[in-house]
A and B are shown apart, each in its own frame.
Chain A
């Protein structure tokens, strides 16, 4: 019992020490500490040295006024610009911070404990800088090359899309410039195309072999839907050259517009078809299958492989289920007897 009392007394003593220590801390808070970081004891020359040392550019020419605060300890991502083409100092065209963000006098001159005003041009999602102004920072250099000179008036420009909506400048991996990650950037807005690309028949976009920019020029084009070429067919023929022709026997809708039959982003009917044969074909070929009028001089005879002895009017439900079983050269034929696109 004696031991118990001793232990209790010890606890009480130790417990009382903690508040005493805390109280001591609180008393210390009353001291004047305005001198804490004073460096006035240092010679003036040393202060000048410090200023000079701090004024060194970290990445870009003349970036010291920004990187004195925004250095690797504050925002390392900002300095990643050194790993991009915008950080190549040997190139005379390389901009500096203020080339894009503006001179930002108010931001640079700010003193005190309040939040400094924002730089003149900010490019984040919630930036107050108008999109046109933001884009002008990029276009001041990037408007003259052939890929971007049609930006003005393009669908993206007229819909107030900013360059930085898709591009990241302060990173060595700009997602939209990487074939594998680019589609995810485009799908952020183009959600319908994301769904279509997940259908059974699709261009190998998800597989990383085709990117949106293989067909589209997001910076503006003379073609429809921001296609890289002037027409849809011209764009498709870039890869599908065997469909280009010229053919001895053309299938007119093919030469006119691939999208008469195909949908570009994905379909559950292979190969990227808008509808299934024979319904797709019968959208145009809605007459009797055994037309008596030959399509050409060397195409006389009853169609469908049915001779007069079996039938003069072959059943459409019999012969029309798989049009391409016979009309295999649906994109056009160069065979002298290929008028019906059989061979």
Chain B
């Protein structure tokens, strides 16, 4: 009995750790964040605008280990990018500094 209890506690601890590492994506919050930061001026979910669609981005980074980090850097450092029409400009830097919000937004894009 004692062993079973200990095993259960250990299981909860382990699943808890994984749960923290892969928190559920809040789609509404991500969309709201994207809207607030004017992301939809250049991107759409499934339509190419000045920038590629989010679905296209998700496909591009599917299965890549550094996908999240790459996109986070993209939206937090504002590197020079070439847009779909061939012109270049700096990518917009997201206004929020909250890492969980940024990760949620990136997570949503990659989940599409």
Q: Which residues of A contact B (CB under 8 A)?
A: 3-4, 7-8, 10-11, 14-15, 18, 21-22, 24-26, 28-29, 31, 33-34, 36-40, 44, 47, 50-51, 54, 68-75, 111-113, 115
Contacts and interface: CB of A to CB of B under 8 A. Distances in A.
A112 B80 CA distance: 9
9 contacts: A15-B17, A18-B17, A18-B20, A34-B81, A38-B82, A47-B84, A50-B48, A69-B41, A73-B40
A124 B73 CA distance: 35
Contact of A34 (B42, B49, B80): B80
Given A21-B21, A24-B65, A70-B41, A37 B83 contact: yes
Q: How large is the interface on B (under 10, 10 to 19, 20 to 34, 35 or more residues)?
A: 35 or more
B11 to A, nearest CB: 9
A74 to B, nearest CB: 4
A113 B49 contact: no
B7 interface: yes
Contact of B49 (A26, A54, A75): A54
Interface of B: 3, 6-7, 10, 13-14, 17, 20-21, 35, 38, 40-45, 47-52, 57, 65-66, 68-74, 78-87, 89-93
Nearest to A115: B38
B41 to A, nearest CB: 4
A35 to B, nearest CB: 8
B49 A68 contact: yes
A113 B42 contact: no
Question: Which residue among A24, A26, A29, A112 has the maximum number of chain B CB atoms within 10 Å of its CB?
Answer: A29
Contacts of A29: 69, 72-73
Contact of B6 (A4, A26, A74): A4
B66 A113 contact: no
Given A11-B13, A73-B44, A73-B45, A28 B70 contact: yes
A7 B6 contact: yes
Contacts of B70: 28, 31, 33, 36
A37 B60 CA distance: 10
A7 B84 contact: no
Given A37-B51, A37-B52, A69-B42, 18 more contacts: A4-B3, A14-B17, A18-B21, A26-B69, A28-B70, A31-B69, A33-B70, A33-B73, A33-B79, A34-B79, A34-B81, A36-B74, A37-B83, A39-B84, A50-B48, A71-B49, A113-B93, A115-B38
